[in-house]
Structure 1
């Protein structure tokens, strides 16, 4: 029987994020992390591929070391954020319309960061047994479709000239795409996004489901893999990454891809930073205990490790009942729906920031996310701000109560 408790992503308490980050940094410096990244590179699962021409080492070996070092460095500098389930659902709702502005660094809430979401921002399904093809663990005839949720994202600004090596060696950065592999041009500015999935939430399949062949030649089951992942390693595991070029437009969204998830992340940044009449988010800061801060410092973590809990602003927050109804329909492994929280999703508006200069073409524009038209349960009041409007007869009638 499948254990239903293992099917869902269960987010941590926000106060746990500093410890999670510490575990990630420690893990990235370990041999298991190097081996995992090396296999990802060999299997073509990594989007960003660093190489060092002239070194007496395989591309996968040196690439894994560079990726792990870069990842650990970004996490050590990262400001920590937790997006509540409501905030996650709002970002997903608004991101149904892709960002129209070019990638802008000022949208980042911090130069480097890690945000954990209260619900998955996406996911993908693949056959874990088929993914072992070409390895000693492959077992002909095995089939094990697995849905992996994406629940966290780390980021930093980045240039391909950022990593210096000893003895004058230089790193050549390439990016995989459907068109093949291309070199990242030097002296260009990017935003590096890394996507994380939960460790130990391998399948949700029956424990005796055969995935492949174990080291002893016998069948390797879903239970075997889940058990191995639970014994060691941090709560999150590296899934993939991508680069957003500063000043470039967003790529068209494709389901279950890093490109689509990047729309959600960028939209969340927009919502977090938007001020004025439509302020979407409010932030609660959780300080780090002194003992934890000392432990972080010993680990080389330079961020103060405060956690910023990002809520939907109280003037836009959905009713608890609506959130609960949406949660019941969520699988915990894919992005949730928002049919109750936001029956009509927010939308983007191209806003001129300097209307007086608009006619002369000297103005600048940016995305602003505004509320869609409002609808809700028939006959129920709907709170849109500090005023509640009740319609007890059709809108064309003169009889209303305010």
Structure 2
């Protein structure tokens, strides 16, 4: 009887562990899917924050970004799980207080709108670079798709984003493995001309508080990830079933994003002579290494952007529609139209450089605030908070 009881208990524990792992995987993949968008899938983010510094500094910046984002995401997921905020704005008030929380609340959602502009521009640039069609055509197609999908709801979006993320990550890993086995070019050798390309304006580097530094770029990348994914991490943190699950969701969300980013950076570094001067670096990489698959990767980029914009449109509408579906419809439609117009007027590389640099710098400040508040909450007795 005792052995039978022990066997049943062990079976239940293993079953629970499998369910926890599945939930962590789903949540982490959805976070990565929510953030891979145009900056990641096109390679612009990897280029401007990391690869533009050359092979000597790129991976140090990624490691710093990984550790920083991991710590902050653990805090956001855990607080999202513990507090289960009724209103999406409550999480900002919790971390930043009443008044700065209001400022951060508005900033996060305004930044989402600007990121949506950037994503639309990325869609237009991808279709234009591959097919020769005007950027407006690609942005318009993307806008229509995202407008429809943004009405799915949080749980359906979480699943859709996780599956799209897995497809994108698998393709990037395949390209990375192929390049590693066949190119024979190291990241340092491949990026030997990086300084020349930057000085010629063929590649842009992210600015952090007006300073260009590879390590600050790493912190800024983490800041951009946190600001971009804050609302999503908090919302999906409330779907976690335990604190342990929330912690692992924070760890794996960061790992998924930056391990794949490292592969993108590796590909860009080893193919830099073919990337410089292009609007969509990863498409140039794939066209150089595996030209027959460039059509497939163009589709993957579009899907990645599509998944990211849909998630942001959903969160923006949910924040401001006050439960009114008609109002949510108007909000999503208005932002979509503005994004299409904006994406058609400004080049992808320029708008992404400005938007990502500003958001990354502000994100560093947000990271400091979140970690400070979380440490206080975890170390001080609850009655003193």
Q: Under a length normalisation based on structure 1, what TM-score does the superposition of the two structures give? A: 0.27
The structure with more strand, counted as a fraction of residues: 1
Higher Cα Rg, which structure? 1
Higher normalized contact order (CA 8 Å, seq sep 6+, divided by chain length): 2
Q: Under a length normalisation based on structure 2, what TM-score does the superposition of the two structures give? A: 0.28
